[in-house]
Amino acid sequence: MNLSELHSIFLKHTSVSTDTRKVTYGCIFFALKGPNFNGNAFAKEAIEKGAAYAIIDEKAYALADKTILVDNVLETLQKLAIYHRNFYKTKVLSLTGSNGKTTTKELTNTVLKKSYTTIATKGNLNNHIGVPLTLLSITEETEIAIVEMGANHQGEIAFLSGLAQPDFGYITNFGKAHLEGFGGVEGVIKGKSELYNYLIENKKQIFFNADDPIQLQKLATYIKKYGYSQNNHEYYPIKFINANPFVTLSFEGLTVNTNLIGTYNFPNCASAILIGKYFNVPAEEIKHALENYYPNNNRSQLITVKEHQIILDAYNANPTSMKAALDNFNAIEADSKIAFLGDMFELGNDAELEHQHIADTLLSLALDKVYLVGENFANTTTNFKTFSSFDEFKKSVELSNLPKSSILIKGSRGMAMERILELL
């Protein structure tokens, strides 16, 4: 079966699944393989649960009229996504960066929905499987598809750009994330810039932060760019006002009061404004969209437990985002401030240095208590309380009777620092 024939079948069903737990009636099941599983073995189960077809790449699992045998299921999923992406006239906007990708994606989608029919990456399905799934969710009505692209090694963004074939692109920033896979900060810059490389090579539109010297330098000679700045009058003006605790900013004489905590969220908001302006979304509509967006999924959420005001930022962490969260927390006015910090992952040989740097930074901040959780933090030289694991922390610290405090909870996803809420 060729790609055109497979796409014709897809158009009659329009939903796909790669997980038998999420099979819906009439979908197409792609039997992907992983290090510890073989999706082919679940093809029969998927069909019994209502899948119209199962795409497999092992003949032994074939079922008459219900399975489609291909050479490689993953490659077929990716090729089908490219074919479908080019089947409609949908414009594709790709986003990547070290920090703020998902928040920027959500804010941009919220703004663009004011004037367009859009689809956007669900959650953080931003890899070699997630990007194709996003592209396959494009329909005939979709005017703009917002595709988040994540990476932890060089070459990955270039590959994902080849899948999404974006017409527009934005890089949030270049930070200390996935240093192990990228090979240091310079590797991060090189890897994330693969989106720029694709857009420049194909003469596509780039959105950027003109106050970021790295971006400004890389795009110095490129013409099809549209940037924002607080100070450079050559670019679209957006002003940061404050973040105490929520970000307030202004553009075109309008003041925008967001529900996002921290100065580090200003660029995320500013980029959504910039992109909205490019697509002619009215300024008042942009303001309304941003002011009615509320973060979730442990991303800079402001929640209350008992008397405590808590900044829950436990979705992920790297040295750049950790430093930004601490600086913001330090600037917030409160009678008592407590930080619960978990290890930062994927730092490779830089792990010891970067965790020690955070421990040293904490000395200069006005915090009443600090708890450092994880093997890396436990190995730092510090006067703060350290615990080699969450279980050790849980057994050693009683939190139920803490006095009224402002609290920051942050750590890498694997640390699941949101568990502290249960202890409070």
DSSP string, 267-309: HHHHHHHHHHHHTT--HHHHHHHHHT----TTSSEEEEETTEE
pLDDT of residue 177: 62
- For residue 306 the two structure tokens come to 């008992």
Residue 32 has pLDDT above 90, yes or no: yes
Per DSSP (E only), the strands in 168-237 are 168-171, 205-209, 225-229, 236-237
Whether 16 is in a domain gets the answer yes
- Report pLDDT digits (tens) over 169-218: 999 988 666 666 666 777 778 878 899 999 999 999 999 999 999 999 99
pLDDT of residue 156: 92
Considering the domain architecture, whether residues 47 and 127 belong to the same structural domain is answered as no
> Using omega within 30 degrees of 0 as the cis cutoff, is the peptide bond preceding 245 cis?
yes
- Report pLDDT digits (tens) over 63-88: 888 999 999 999 999 999 999 999 99
Q: How far is CA 354 from CA 177, 178, 254, 358, in A?
A: 11, 12, 40, 6
Considering the domain architecture, whether residues 274 and 170 belong to the same structural domain is answered as yes
Considering the domain architecture, whether residues 287 and 366 belong to the same structural domain is answered as no
CATH (domain of 340):
3.90.190.20
Instruction: Give the closest residue to 266 by CA, choosing from 219, 223, 328.
Output: 328
* pLDDT confidence band for 414 (50 / 70 / 90): very high
pLDDT of residue 17: 94
Last residue within a domain, chosen from 70, 101, 120 = 70
Scanning the structure block, which residue is given the tokens 């991060």?
188
Considering the domain architecture, whether residues 40 and 120 belong to the same structural domain is answered as no
Considering the domain architecture, whether residues 101 and 186 belong to the same structural domain is answered as yes
Whether 109 is in a domain gets the answer yes
Q: How far is CA 408 from CA 103, 298, 303, 397, 403, in A?
A: 19, 12, 11, 16, 15
Considering the domain architecture, whether residues 319 and 199 belong to the same structural domain is answered as no
pLDDT of residue 147: 97
Q: What's the whole-model pTM score?
A: 0.86
- For residue 37 the two structure tokens come to 């599983």
Give mean pLDDT, residues 88-115. Answer: 94
Tell how strand 369-373 and strand 337-342 pair up: parallel
Domain that holds residue 119: 88-291
Q: How many domains does the chain have?
A: 3
Give mean pLDDT, residues 233-259. Answer: 95
pLDDT of residue 291: 97
Considering the domain architecture, whether residues 62 and 127 belong to the same structural domain is answered as no
Considering the domain architecture, whether residues 232 and 358 belong to the same structural domain is answered as no
Last residue within a domain, chosen from 291, 316, 345 = 291
Instruction: Give the closest residue to 127 by CA, choosing from 87, 89, 74, 175.
Output: 74
Last residue within a domain, chosen from 268, 291, 314 = 291
Whether 82 is in a domain gets the answer no
Considering the domain architecture, whether residues 322 and 373 belong to the same structural domain is answered as yes
| Cβ partners under 8 Å of residue 57, min gap 6 | 31, 33, 40, 69, 70, 71, 72, 73, 76
Residue 264 has pLDDT above 80, yes or no: yes
* pLDDT confidence band for 100 (50 / 70 / 90): confident
Whether 78 is in a domain gets the answer no
Residue 40 has pLDDT above 80, yes or no: yes
Contact 341, 387 (CB under 8 A): no
Residue 271 has pLDDT above 90, yes or no: yes
Instruction: Please tell me whether residue 415 adopts helix, strand or coil conformation.
Output: helix
Residue 362 has pLDDT above 70, yes or no: yes
Considering the domain architecture, whether residues 322 and 252 belong to the same structural domain is answered as no
pLDDT of residue 421: 92
Whether 235 is in a domain gets the answer yes
Whether 207 is in a domain gets the answer yes
pLDDT of residue 182: 66
Considering the domain architecture, whether residues 279 and 310 belong to the same structural domain is answered as no
Q: Rounded distance, CA 318 to CA 341, Å?
A: 11
pLDDT of residue 240: 97
Among 89-93, 333-337, 397-401, name the one with the lowest average pLDDT: 397-401
Considering the domain architecture, whether residues 128 and 10 belong to the same structural domain is answered as no
